[in-house]
A and B are shown apart, each in its own frame.
Chain A
């Protein structure tokens, strides 16, 4: 189990250090700083140095590091680290260096509570917030009552929700957020594509509501015999409106009753109050790529290089993408670039060594072109340009790359109050990369280079 827990900033300074077991010294922090933070090599999240293993995750501008001297369960330790980031976010809004610095007493208090002698304990923010607070100490009497309540909740069946929540207006929001990972070859073949999505829930519901929620999960639909008949509007109006999605693996928030899911693939749960990540999933089949990019990079001469990039939106023309940005790498010895685009703005950014092309609003079923000419200076060492891939950033609302949609969300409560439910979809890129084609000749010249 954990022997120690540290928080470092990006410079490698120790912000928080908590030793859980006497088998290591505080100075191991230096080892981590020297071997991991300051080293420029490829970093693995687990570094074993001597008899110690360092597990680290990076969040915002801090490193969270767990140290163990035994062969501990790595998954458990990472889960713990992510729980700590979750706690931090839920306590401070943003969990970064400044937040750590201004709340270090609270963090030490939390660390004492969530881990005992290296064994993780209750890490549920809802429960912890009841008794680890930033407020002052209240009277002893109030504490007594409170204490009993806290004990019941912390040890009860639904640790993540207080029983006495009341809202005047009962609302539930579901956000389906997907990130598409893509690696496309220059010829346009998809080398790797997958979607990792999450379903976020914000519940403002009174009492102890039981929720049930259905997706167009292929296994479920087949089971219900509804495949084919269950066609409705898949968000974004993608081509595959046949509508069933094969989910490769799903992970649920602890509130979901896994027994029911295992039995008949229904998702039943009592949601925690406020925001939570209800489920995570991944698919690799039948992915609707929101954008298709083609790029041609031609070396006209030793010190001239021409770029032609076309980008086409493949979603329905009723919706649009926001904040589309393409990053087109240019050689490191570029001295200047002339760009011409049919939409948006493009310019050469020296600090990134690339052309940044921004399109603030990109309607569906459109195609835009960029044509650029880079001027190169001669260098003393002839190094072949590594041709990094073009990468892309965007945000498409009401579109899911996997085709996933929420079929229903039902809420049952003893008092049977009416509730309002909202569903929202969004797709954004994870790593969305397209390799440039060095051999492809540009078919047309969009502009003549000025003399």
Chain B
């Protein structure tokens, strides 16, 4: 059935010359379709036509936000053509997260239950394409039923199996592999090859994540392979260029590789037999390219399986001969596969002698015209490397590195670094190779590589001197890569003194070698070099002047990191004593032994997307670990299923951690050489701070009882306070006086208050205070609650000081200062006197009662009032806003009201202080109508009395 409207519309759109015209046409059509869809009686054919148009616009990239309902309606149409368009629209326009998925699920289920096969197929296809979670939840059982049902036609079963495969890949948790395993595996024996192939794909996927549940597939796979290869049982339509069902064969062989070799000899022999037959079949090379491809696909999988079964077997020996032929083949694909399989072989064979025979060919493959082949050759060389051939291979790799593609350089560098480290017989070779590496491909040397070099040099004492000498020679060459400079900077700094007496290696020359490159490198390298210079000062006092000049110059550089380093190092270098310098520049202790970060870096690079690899690139060691891990997994799984998943998870986590930590390895350690300096600097500051802290505490205590006074004072600034309180409200004026001869600039204040008090700024302050002047700012204070009643003033300012105690230069420097001062805004400030008679007092005293509204504290008295109750009474009257009841003579008794602007409001407080002259102690008893107030007020009053 043709749809003329659709063809005309498409033709129109194609004829639109500009985007604007197309937009107009699309808008017009959308408006038309909207008006058509208003009609509920719209025929299915019309609906189909308009949905088609919408789809076309959607595919072109226009926003279509309606018509989904119509598409869903089409699903339930009995006509195939309409249903088909409906499904097409649904798969394209409905995304996984759409709400309409729910609606669609019902129609799909109806179609799956339908006995018309083409409808079932449409539904299966749509499920696989959308594969929304909800859909998988609701329909996976139906799909499963179709796949295993006896009545379903083969092509439906096939589609069902593939649909299930897709659902499993998207939502592995939704498919109960354990329960379904047996049912799924039955399909492998289906007489129809197509079904068997589809089901095997599913089995391969499930077996990778649930090998135990699918263990039953091994005998099935073996018998199926046997039938195909040995008994030649297959329907003729599945013979592809004389090769019977190559896809199924490949899948089955691959499946067997996910399981350990069968233990009983009979099955083992059967498998080996199959492999032998395949190898035999591959002796003659067919002319037809397709035939050849199919045959090779099976052959390579068979070789892989043979290696997996037993790397020592006769089959493998045969295979390696074949492989040797393949890697020099004219066909690129065959070369690729040959190299890859050989890397597999090299990864498992105890001795790589079979592979070594082809070393020449492999090395020449590095120069292949196809990059993927070059990569495989690199992998193979990496895998087959051992002590005997390491030098040759590394040499070849280094030569090739100079001309290698940028895409594989980084990987090459990593691999060379690993091989060199692993198979180095003498250290000088290692250092030479790494330096060569940096010179050839400096830009591709990742940080891990040079971190590792530093680690190794630090940990091997005999290596150090040679390393320093070679590095210095490298640095002296006119072109020198930045990474080399980094390595050089570190090594010279640490071990430069070892060669200081050699001719051409004098301290000054070492310094010049580094410093001549200083201006050309990036900031992190410069920072590293500055640290090196400091170390030079420590070991070579004779070049101190030159180095100090550099520090002085870099004190004013724009970059903060460099500036800070320069300043700190300068002050350390110019300190009167060398003690600090020596401590800071002590030689680095050896690094703890740990796994090379390089390996984990390399492993991270080989992440697979599809079917998992059954082996690792790398020598026997890499694969042994793998096998061990696998067998460990298997054992633990036998114990209990739950445990096993835990263990797996843990392993994954560990692996991740290892990877992460591997990366951080040395980068953590490098900055660690700086801290001593920072600490010392901080200590200096702390000492100063402690001195002032003592005086500050005293002035704070005084201001708690006095309204006015000085809060803080140092060489530069004086901060004074004037306060005034009326019940719950108060006002604070803070005075900033500049005592120094320079201007205080960038003055910024900030108030940090608790919830108990609200502070509002009345009068802000200018940001600079000229010498010998005073400025002030005003705050309003409001008491809200007795809890969290405190306020801290944070001040920061800079002073231009003209001198520095240990610096010979007289350049003005700026000092940054920050102060954090607690303000004497405390609960006692919000008391107002409440005159009471003796009777009233006693009545209320008993009315309030004991704890928690009462609090009693015993403490020593202050020195001035310890002798006499009268003196204490006067002091209390003077310093606390309470009314003292003179009718009580043996003790000081007072009453007051505590005020808050909100919350508790006014709270009556009764105070009784008894004095023990003999022991110079007093007992304070406070009763108030609010327990919170009691708790807050009592310690405060105690503090005041103590300070008399």
In the assembled complex, B891 has its CB within 8 A of some CB on chain A:
no
- Interface residue from A11, A333, A349 paired with B18 (Cβ < 8 Å): A11
B37 at the interface (CB under 8 A from A): yes
Asked if B28 contacts A351 (CB within 8 A), the reply is yes
Cross-chain contact B35 with A336 (CB below 8 angstroms): yes
Q: Mark B82-103, 1 if CB is under 8 A from A, else 0.
A: 0000000000000000111000
CB contact under 8 A between A333 and B65, given known A350-B28, A351-B31: yes
Q: Are A348's CB and B31's CB within 8 A?
A: yes
Known: A350-B27, A380-B98. A335 touches B65 (CB 8 A): no
Give chain A residues whose Cβ lies under 8 Å from the Cβ of B100.
380
* Given A11-B17, A351-B27, A351-B28, 12 additional A-B pairs, CB 8 A: A10-B17, A61-B18, A332-B65, A335-B31, A348-B31, A349-B28, A350-B29, A351-B25, A352-B27, A377-B34, A379-B66, A380-B68
Q: Which 5 A-B pairs have the closest CB atoms?
A: A350-B31, A351-B28, A335-B34, A351-B24, A379-B65
User: Does A383 have its Cβ within 8 Å of any Cβ on chain B?
Assistant: yes
Residue A381 lies at the interface, judged by CB distance under 8 Å to chain B: yes
* Cα–Cα, bound, A260→B894 (Å): 94
Known: A10-B18, A380-B98. A334 touches B24 (CB 8 A): no
Assembly CA distance A351 to B22 (angstroms): 10
- Chain A residue with Cβ nearest B94: A380
In chain A between 1 and 24, which residues have their CB closer than 8 angstroms to a CB of chain B? 10-11
User: In the complex, what's the smallest C-beta–C-beta distance from A261 to chain B, in angstroms?
Assistant: 42
Contacts of B639 in A (CB 8 A): none
One digit per residue, 1 when the CB lies within 8 angstroms of any chain B CB and 0 when it does not, for chain A 371-398 equals 0000101111101000000000000000
| A350 partner, pick from B32, B37, B66, B99, beta carbons under 8 A | B32
* Given contacts A351-B24, A351-B25, A383-B65, A377 and B31 within 8 Å (CB-CB): no
A336 to B35, CA, bound (A): 6
- Which B residues contact A (CB, under 8 angstroms)? 17-19, 24-25, 27-32, 34-35, 37-38, 65-66, 68, 98-100
Interface size class of A (residues with CB under 8 A): 20 to 34
Known: A377-B37, A380-B100. A352 touches B65 (CB 8 A): no
A321-337 contact mask (Cβ, 8 Å, vs B): 1 or 0: 00000000000111110
Residues of A within 8 A of B38 (CB): 335-336, 375, 377
B17 touching A350 by the CB < 8 A rule? no
Q: Which B residue's beta carbon lies closest to that of A375?
A: B38
In the assembled complex, the CB of B447 is this many whole angstroms from the nearest CB of chain A, namely 30
Q: How far is the CA of A352 from the CA of B20 in the complex (A)?
A: 11
Are A352's CB and B24's CB within 8 A? yes
> Which residues of B sit under 8 angstroms from A380, Cβ to Cβ?
65-66, 68, 98-100
A351 to B20, CA, bound (A): 10
Closest to A38 in B: B19
Can you give 27 A-B contacts (C-beta < 8 A)? A10-B18, A11-B17, A40-B19, A332-B65, A333-B66, A335-B31, A335-B35, A335-B37, A335-B38, A336-B34, A348-B31, A350-B27, A350-B28, A350-B30, A350-B31, A351-B24, A351-B31, A352-B24, A352-B27, A375-B38, A377-B34, A377-B66, A379-B65, A379-B66, A380-B65, A380-B68, A380-B98
Task: Kindly state whether residue A353 has any CB partner on chain B within 8 Å.
Answer: yes
Which residues on the A side are within 8 Å of B25 (C-beta)?
A: 351
CB pair B98 A333 closer than 8 Å = no
Query: What's the minimum C-beta distance from B561 to chain A, rounded to whole angstroms?
Result: 31
Chain B residues contacting A11 (CB-CB under 8 Å) are 17-18
Closest chain B residue to A10, Cβ basis? B18
Q: When the two chains form their complex, are residues A353 and B31 in contact, meaning their CB atoms are under 8 A apart?
A: yes
Q: Which residues of A contact B98 (CB under 8 A)?
A: 380
Q: Are A334 and B27 in contact (CB under 8 A)?
A: no
The residues of B that contact A378 with a CB separation of less than 8 Å are 66
Alpha-carbon gap, A377 to B31, bound state (A): 10
- Most chain A CB atoms below 10 A, which of B18, B31, B34: B31
Residues of B close to A375: CB separation below 8 A: 38
**What are the residues of chain A within 8 A of B66 when measuring CB–CB?**
333, 377-380
Nearest A-chain residue to B65, judged by Cβ: A379
Binding site for B on A (CB under 8 A): 10-11, 40, 61, 332-336, 348-353, 375, 377-381, 383
- When chains A and B are docked, how far (Å) is the Cα of A201 from the Cα of B195? 85
Evaluate contact between B31 and A381: CB separation under 8 angstroms. Answer: no
Distance in Å: Cβ of B421 to nearest Cβ of chain A: 42
> Given the complex of chains A and B, what is the CA–CA distance between A229 and B19 in angstroms?
56
Complex formed: what's the CA distance from A348 to B65 in Å? 20
Q: Which B residues lie within 8 Å of A350 (CB)?
A: 27-32
Residues of A within 8 Å of B24, CB to CB, are 351-352
Instruction: Determine whether the beta carbon of A381 is less than 8 Å from that of B65.
Output: yes
B32 to chain A, nearest CB (A): 6
- Alpha-carbon separation in the docked complex, A61 to B19 (Å): 12
Please report the C-alpha to C-alpha distance between residue A61 and residue B34 in the assembled complex, in whole angstroms.
32
In the complex, what distance in Å separates the CA atom of A353 from the CA atom of B922? 89
Kindly provide the distance from the CB of A337 to the nearest chain B CB, expressed in whole angstroms. 10
Q: From the candidates A40, A61, A335, A353, name the one contacting B27 in the complex (CB within 8 A).
A: A353
For A352, list chain B residues within 8 Å (CB): 24, 27
> For the complex, what is the distance from the CA of A353 to the CA of B65, rounded to whole Å?
15
A230 to B18, CA, bound (A): 53
Of chain A, the residue at the smallest CB distance from B99 is A380
Bound Cα distance A10, B19 (Å): 9
Contacting residues, chain B, for A332 (C-beta < 8 A): 30, 65
Most chain-B CB neighbours within 10 Å: which of A10, A11, A333, A351? A351
Tell me the minimal C-beta distance from A280 to chain B in angstroms. 28
Alpha-carbon distance between A124 and B433 when the two chains are bound, in angstroms: 71
CA–CA, A327 to B38, complex, Å? 25
Kindly state the separation between the CA atoms of A379 and B99 in the bound complex, as whole angstroms.
12
Contacts of A383 in B (CB 8 A): 65
Residues of B within 8 A of A348 (CB): 31
Is B31 a contact of A334 with CB atoms below 8 Å?
A: yes
**Which residue of A has the minimal Cβ distance to B98?**
A380
Bound CA span A332–B63, Å: 10
In the bound complex, residues from chain A placing their C-beta under 8 Å from that of B37 are 335, 377
CA distance A60 to B610 in the complex (A): 53
Q: How far is the CB of A330 from chain B (nearest CB, A)?
A: 10
Q: With A and B bound together, what is the CA distance between A385 and B28 in angstroms?
A: 18
Looking at the assembled complex, report how far the CB atom of B54 sits from the nearest CB atom of chain A, in whole angstroms.
12
The answer for the CA separation of A139 and B791 in the assembled complex, in Å, is 101
A379 to B32 alpha-carbon distance, docked (Å): 15
Q: By CB atoms of chain A within 10 A, which of B25, B29, B35 has the most?
A: B35
A240 to chain B minimum Cβ distance, whole angstroms, is 40
Residue of B nearest to A40 (CB): B19
- What chain A residues lie within 8 Å of B30 (beta carbons)? 332, 350
For residue A336, which residue of chain B has the nearest CB? B35
Closest to A97 in B: B17
Question: How close is A377's CB to chain B, nearest CB, in angstroms?
Answer: 5
Q: How far is the CA of A11 from the CA of B21 in the complex (A)?
A: 12
| Residue ID in chain B nearest A350 by CB atoms | B31
> Smallest distance from the beta carbon of A296 to chain B beta carbons, Å?
23
CA distance A37 to B13 in the complex (A): 19
Docked complex Cα distance between A78 and B24 (Å): 31
**Which one of A11, A61, A380 has the highest number of Cβ atoms from chain B below 10 Å of its Cβ?**
A380
Q: Note all chain A residues with C-beta closer than 8 A to B65.
A: 332-333, 379-381, 383
Chain B residues whose CB sits within 8 angstroms of the CB of A334 once the complex forms: 31, 34
Q: Which residues of chain B have C-beta atoms less than 8 A from A349's C-beta? A: 28
Chain A contacts of B35 at CB under 8 A?
335-336
A41 to chain B, nearest CB (A): 13
- Docked Cα-Cα span, A163 to B301, in Å, equals 93
Q: Give Cα distance in the complex from A351 to B24, angstroms.
A: 4
Closest Cβ–Cβ distance, residue B637 to chain A (whole Å): 46
Q: How far is the CA of A175 from the CA of B34 in the complex (A)?
A: 47
Q: Which residue of A lies closest to B68 (CB)?
A: A380
Cα of A223 to Cα of B27 in the assembled complex, Å: 57
Chain B residue nearest to A354 (CB atoms) is: B27
Expressed in whole angstroms, the minimum distance between the Cβ of B46 and any Cβ of chain A is 15
Q: How far is the CB of B201 from chain A (nearest CB, A)?
A: 35
In the complex, what distance in Å separates the CA atom of A397 from the CA atom of B18? 34
Bound state CA distance, A334 and B66, in angstroms? 11
> Taking the nearest CB of chain A, how far is it from the CB of B40, in angstroms?
12
Closest to B38 in A: A335
